[in-house]
Amino acid sequence: MDYLELLKSGINHWNEWRSHNPDADCDLSGQDLCEAYLFGGNFSHVKLRGSNLQRACLIGADLQGADLSGSDLTGAYLGEANLSEADLTGVTLTGANLNRADLRGAKVNELQLAEANTYRTLTKLSFVGEPAAAAPPRAAEHRFSDIRPSDIRPSDIRLGEIKPAERVTDTPKHQASDSPAYLPTEQPIQNPHAQNPQNQNLTEPTHADQPIEQHTAPTTVGWLAVAWAMTGFGAVACLIGISLGSAALYMPTEATTDSETPSALADDEAAGPVDPLSMAHSLASEGQVWAVATSASAGDTPLVVAGGEGGSIQVWDRRTGDRLWTLHGHDGTVRDLAITPSGEQLISASDDGIKAWDLQTGELLYQLAAEGAPVDSIAISPNERTFVSSRYDGQITIRRMEDGAPVYSVEAGSTVWSVEVAPDGQSFFSAQGDRTIYEWDLVTGQPIRSLIEHQDAVRTLAVSADGTTLASGSVDSTIKLWNLKTGKLQATLASHEDSVVSIALSPDGNTLASSSQDNTLKLWDIPRRELVTTLDTSGDEILSLAFSADTASPQTLVSGGKAMIVNVWQ
């Protein structure tokens, strides 16, 4: 059995085969899996000794009992991965993201963790013999507790030398992979982390006559570049930590406001209280729903569009709940959907690339194969001439709407989870894994400013229709509201107990909907910055939200999640 070829056939095929052959002795030792897209892969007890997994996407992967000894996972994405009982002897995890990864019972001799992000990592560590005295911990933005000693010696972890990220310019675009599993044949240059001092406003760019081809985010000493001088148990506690209890221990129950920043929203006395929504329709999908969108189209028929697991896209009449058609063509999970303001076209982003559809007829207009990594997010400019796409490896590309041809690309320097275009069409925003939000000039691709207040990766963004407010949701369980005129933080909304996965703002800007991995869907009154209600989703983890832009009809929210259901709320 050629396990590498099986893996190249796609992670969904791999997982299906593993489900039918759970006891197979899978051996991928020594393979070059650099930047491989293995999201949610089943690698339980698989041999991966000495493999190159640099910058591989293993978010949510099952690596329980896997043999990773001697492997290189530099810069790998391991958020929520199950590494319990795995053999991590001699593994390099420098710069890796281990948010909420489960390391309980893992063998960690000679583990290298310099610059690793270990927010809420589950561990159960102990020492053989007496641990060395711990140096006083540095004040950090992470929260650590419940470190219980297990089978590890202080000398087993090499912290290494931590250096500021070097700026990389003129980075070549990644070559397209020949395989749906995204196992690149060439090893591309590693992107630096895009880092800026907190709330630093960058110089306003001068518009060039011609679009530039490639840019990189500005780089300074990053917030993760900490000179760890600690040894023994103190070092372990600071590099492999978990949250100090629930989010309520460090966040207020509803909202806090930056007292030094006057809030335009708080002065809005004309807006009445936000009314809770009730379910109007519950629509059955063909798989887990990762993306939803809504629009008035198809002869003024209001539409609900949903895509996700399996690659199909379903289109419903929002008023009646009748399915109009199903769009087929994607082989991988559909991760985002965007409908043009006119309601005539749909752009879908997937593991296998980008497709453009005619929403009047369901016709496929054109398709763009994925180049090295899946496309996570899509945003269309108000004039419908261009759209922005982002990949999990940090590349952002501005493309022509008519044919998808690239205008220019930006190397953002870290995972880009979401992109949004400003309503005036002059700029766009990116939500990034280095806890930064960037604003970029849409014409030139030059960075305008960075917003840094979140304590962990920023997963989702929403911009108010009037362009004055940006909302952001993060792995740190909070939602933040930003004044786009000043770039200042206005308020922090905190009620979720886990990562905020998706947010959406109503057309009037008064209501914000948020969903989280705590399996809740919440409505917020934005002018009052109050939690209005938690909607009953029967425990479903909601992955995507969208408000209807149709202001002539009752306020409508669409949600989709893992329960293979699309709900319409009014």
The per-residue pLDDT for range 225-236, each reduced to its tens digit, is 333 333 333 333
- The torsion of the CA quartet 17, 23, 25, 26, rounded to 10 degrees, works out to 30
Note the Cα 270 to chain centre separation in Å: 35
pLDDT band at 332 (very low <50, low <70, confident <90, very high): confident
- pLDDT over 80 (residue 135): no
- 54-68, 228-242, 464-478: range with highest mean pLDDT: 464-478
Closest listed residue to residue 522, CA positions, set 458, 465, 479, 468: 479
Q: Which long-range contacts (CB under 8 A, 24 or more apart) does 10-14 make?
A: 10/179, 10/180, 10/181, 10/331, 10/332, 10/351, 11/37, 11/38, 11/39, 11/40, 11/41, 11/181, 11/351, 12/332, 12/333, 14/41, 14/42, 14/181
pLDDT at position 10 is 76
Q: What percent of the chain has pLDDT over 70?
A: 72
**Would you state the structure tokens that stand for residue 386, as one six-digit string?**
């261009």
Distance of CA 332 to the CA centre of its chain: 17
**pLDDT over 50 (residue 558):** yes
Number of C-alpha atoms within 13 angstroms, CB side, residue 120?
17
Higher pLDDT, 520 or 370: 520
Integer Rg of the chain from CA: 23
**Short-list 473, 509, 490, 255, CA closest to 481:** 490
Q: 408 or 131: which carries more pLDDT confidence?
A: 408
pLDDT band at 212 (very low <50, low <70, confident <90, very high): very low
Residue whose C-alpha is closest to residue 162's, from 253, 89, 246, 223: 223
| Count of other CB atoms within 10 angstroms of residue 210 | 8
Average pLDDT, stretch 416-429? 96
Assign residue 300 a region: left if phi > 0, alpha if psi is -120 to 50, beta otherwise?
left
**Can you tell me whether residue 92 is helix, strand or coil?**
strand
Q: Enter the DSSP assignment of 265.
A: G
Contact 308, 40 (CB under 8 A): no
Phi, psi of 89, rounded to the nearest 5 degrees: -60, 125
Coil, helix or strand for 107?
Answer: strand
Instruction: Supply 216's token pair.
Output: 């990189």
Mean pLDDT of 449-455: 96
pLDDT band at 213 (very low <50, low <70, confident <90, very high): very low
Q: What residues pair up with 396 in beta bridges, in sequence order?
A: 390, 410
The three-state secondary structure class of 226 is: coil
Contacts of 462 (CB under 8 A, 6+ apart): 420, 470, 471, 503, 504, 505, 512
52-66, 393-407, 480-494: segment of lowest average pLDDT: 52-66
Instruction: Measure Cα distances from 357 to 318, 343, 364 in Å.
Output: 19, 11, 5
Distance CA 453, CA 433 (A): 13
- Look at residue 299 in the predicted model and tell me its pLDDT: 58
Q: Are strands 395-400 and 157-158 parallel, antiparallel or unpaired?
A: unpaired
SS3 442: coil
